[in-house]
Structure 1
Amino acid sequence: MKQSVRLGHVAGIPVGAHWSTVMIVVLIGGVLATTVLPQAVAGQPPARYWMVAAGASVLFLGSLLAHELAHAIVALRRGVPVKSITLWLLGGVTEFAGETKSPKDEFQVSVVGPLVSLALSGVFYLAVVLLNGPALIVAAVRWLALMNGVLAVFNMLPGSPLDGGRVLHAALWRMHGDRVRADRSAAKAGQVLGMSLIAVGGMELILLGWTGGLWMMLIGWFLASAARSEGLVRAAHEGLKGWRVRDVMTTSPDVAPAWQDIDDFITVVALHSHQTVFPVVDFGGHSAGTLSLEALTAIPPEQRQDRRIATVARPLPPDHLLSPDDDAARILEPSAGTGELMAVVAEAGHVVGMVTTADLTRALQQAVLRTTSSRQNAGQPGDTEQDHPGQPLHDPGA
């Protein structure tokens, strides 16, 4: 997740926090200090409420981290690489670098998070029973028990991208033996769930005047949007099955030499190219970043003559640099792609192509046409010009 701060590693897994994590700490702390704790234990100094609320907020973030770590550790044991864990406004996100190989693995990776939250709820409730301490501390621990229980139940609702949606996906996958069908069903369930939460939140807000309805509407909107996006990505993965990056990329794109003056590049290349983004290359033809027309237009005209392309090029993360023979599905990896440019393609260290959103859209549309065509063998990825004389492998105008 972008705009995150790396916090360190837990069990060898990078852990970060999105800037919105501050918002959840402030929101939780504020609700606890001004409402929950004063109602549970009246007559305490405000500073004491805030101190206990801050501690409870941090412990709740720790609970979210434990939930995500459970997913990550089980995934690693099932052979699924884990890129990172990120805490953010609506909880946590575990980013995987692969997929589970069976419904059983999918079920185990998915269900363990809610089970850990449920176990933490039990631990906190046990602490409430056994703890013989200040009433304010007991009230905070009771709240932690309740929230972890709510977290476990909510996450098991049957719709992607929630854990319950993954469990539903695993069950449908096992039942029908068709992962793609399970993908579609789980994504649709997530959209229905999200829209339902929006409707319920709206009724709470309008009919009952509960401002908490706004929070439910926000969660519902996120779930519906995430489910739709996940469904599209899954469909794209299926559409690109069997394709290589060379089947999708724009070959021999116009490039921006890192040593060239910006004004010269605009005059010689940018004004005559159909591209809106350019791979930046060094003297050896190796990737040295990217440059967009948008970035060029932001440079004042008087500064374009004495500045080189290298000074305004945007760095290219290592996983945005692909090989022509890489699986095309790598283009869809969450960390790949920035704006219109999805990836730069290099062979033997030299830039030979790029993949833009237009390239990807074209490839997916061709995939749909291929699967619905009466000539199922026509236009398969990897066909050569000798197989289909007169038909270029790539659209020269892309």
Structure 2
Amino acid sequence: MRQTARLGRLAGIPIGVHWSVFVIMLLLVQGLASVILPGGARGYATAVYWGVAVVVAALFLAALLAHELGHALVARHYGVRVRGITLWMLGGMSELDGEPPHARADLLIALAGPVVSLAGAGVFAAGAAVASASGAGPLAVTGLAWLAVVNGILGVFNLLPGAPLDGGRVLAAVLWWVWRDRAAARRAAGRVGMVLGALLITAGLLELLLAANLSGLWLMVLGWFVASAARAEATDVMLRKTLAGVRVGDVMTAPAACGYSSQSVADFVATVARRHPHRIFPVLDLDGRLVGLVSLTRLAKVSSTDRERTRLADVSAPVDRTRVLDPAVPLMDAAPAVLAGRLVPVVANGRLTGVVTPGDVARANELAQLGITPDRGGGDAATSGTYAPANRHE
């Protein structure tokens, strides 16, 4: 999941938020200020409710971050690199680069988040008790009590035994220890997650239809997310099994259709874009070095009258914002980046050697299921200079 905004670093881990966080925070502040806080503490001015609601919502966001930091710090303890943490509408996501070394590590990494949430629930509950005993006022007590309840729910819900929830990872770790087969354990947790997602969708639908409660919609959305993510995890397990030993260079599309930074948009559209099925294309300089990517969406924003004088360099995304792959990298290490986008350039010795698309990954998987190892002869990192240039314009 891409970060919309970076918040900085904690313990050396990049922290960011997805745009959906801003939506859910607005809804949360509105609900706190108009329903929850007035219901527990009457007689305050509207501005006071809104001010306290902002503080409570910020503390809730911090609690979500603490949950993910729990996962990340334990993962790092066991040698798993953490690329970053992203907060989004339904919680948070720790991006781990690598696999836990053994079932015990997998179990402790999975348990760390819920333990932090449940500990947070205890801290907020104690805070509410202290606030009540010291006469701090019903508004503070209500806010702290709400945080205690929500963190408790977060911790318990995440322990439900189905991927992608933490409980699903706990289940996978336990099955891994019992069966000594991590792939089988993850597949089982994925199947349980799909069942759990279906049950949540059904419960939400019944709540919506029988009780006429719109909160059933949130339960349905949550169930859809759980089922979809569980299915994605099951697919990932299958890919890891079938694509073991396959490298990026074995499946990449080469030569790659591309353009040049000095080429006009009009010429590129006429000679390259219209003749190839991609929606994103690499852009090279005149020495053949990758300088960026250009999409059909960006090209469409250039008016027809400006396309002759607009160069690809003017509309392409710079290379420092572009994920590139080495042809010798295992395909499964690169698959998440490819499947999350539409096209990833493959570069060796500073030169574009090809591109990898989701279709290339799907084809490799289908061939592997046929017992065929895909091989386009590009796995050697020494391969370079393989691309299909458009017309050069000096």
TM-score between the two structures when normalised by the length of structure 2? 0.89
The answer on whether the counterparts of 2:249 and 2:376 sit within 8 Å (CA) in structure 1 is no
Note the 1:332-347 alignment, pairs <5 A: 332-334=335-337, 336=338, 339-341=341-343, 343-347=344-348
**C-alpha distance in 2 between matches for 1:319 and 1:265:** 20
Residue 230 in 1 paired to residue 233 in 2?
Answer: yes
Residue 209 in 1 paired to residue 208 in 2?
Answer: no
Deviations 1:148-171 (A, max 9, x none): 111110000011111001101101
Deviations 1:188-240 (A, max 9, x none): 11111111111111111111111211111111111111111222223222222
**C-alpha distance in 2 between matches for 1:43 and 1:318:** 52
* Matching residue of 2:170: 167
Greater Cα shift, 70-79 or 36-45? 36-45
* Matching residue of 1:143: 146
Among 175, 178, 182, the alignment partner of 1:179 is 182
Greater Cα shift, 110-119 or 310-319? 310-319
Note the 1:11-90 alignment, pairs <5 A: 11-90=11-90
Q: How far has the Cα of 1:317 moved from its partner?
A: 5.0
Q: How far has the Cα of 1:328 moved from its partner?
A: 1.1
The answer on whether the counterparts of 2:250 and 2:377 sit within 8 Å (CA) in structure 1 is no
Query: How many residues are matched?
Result: 376
Amino acid at match of 1:380: T
Amino acid at match of 1:109: I
Deviations 1:71-125 (A, max 9, x none): 1100100111101111111111111111212111110100011011111111112
* Matching residue of 1:375: none
Amino acid at match of 2:119: A
Deviations 1:319-350 (A, max 9, x none): 7211111111132234x566431x21111101
**C-alpha distance in 1 between matches for 2:127 and 2:275:** 70
* Matching residue of 2:354: 353
Distance change in 2, residues 1:380/1:222 (3 Å) = closer
The answer on whether the counterparts of 1:4 and 1:86 sit within 8 Å (CA) in structure 2 is no
**C-alpha distance in 2 between matches for 1:302 and 1:246:** 40
Amino acid at match of 1:142: A
Amino acid at match of 2:201: I
* Matching residue of 1:393: none
**C-alpha distance in 1 between matches for 2:348 and 2:75:** 32
Q: How far has the Cα of 1:383 moved from its partner?
A: 8.9
Amino acid at match of 1:35: V
**Secondary structure at 2:305 match in 1:** helix
Identity %: 41
The answer on whether the counterparts of 1:320 and 1:337 sit within 8 Å (CA) in structure 2 is no
**C-alpha distance in 1 between matches for 2:18 and 2:311:** 34
* Matching residue of 1:368: 369
**C-alpha distance in 1 between matches for 2:29 and 2:36:** 10
**Secondary structure at 2:9 match in 1:** strand
Gaps of 5+ in 1: 371-378, 386-395
* Matching residue of 1:281: 284
**C-alpha distance in 2 between matches for 1:250 and 1:265:** 19
Q: How far has the Cα of 1:295 moved from its partner?
A: 4.1
CA RMSD of superposed structures (Å): 2.1
**C-alpha distance in 1 between matches for 2:269 and 2:10:** 47
Q: How far has the Cα of 1:48 moved from its partner?
A: 2.1
* Matching residue of 1:376: none
Distance change in 2, residues 1:226/1:338 (3 Å) = closer
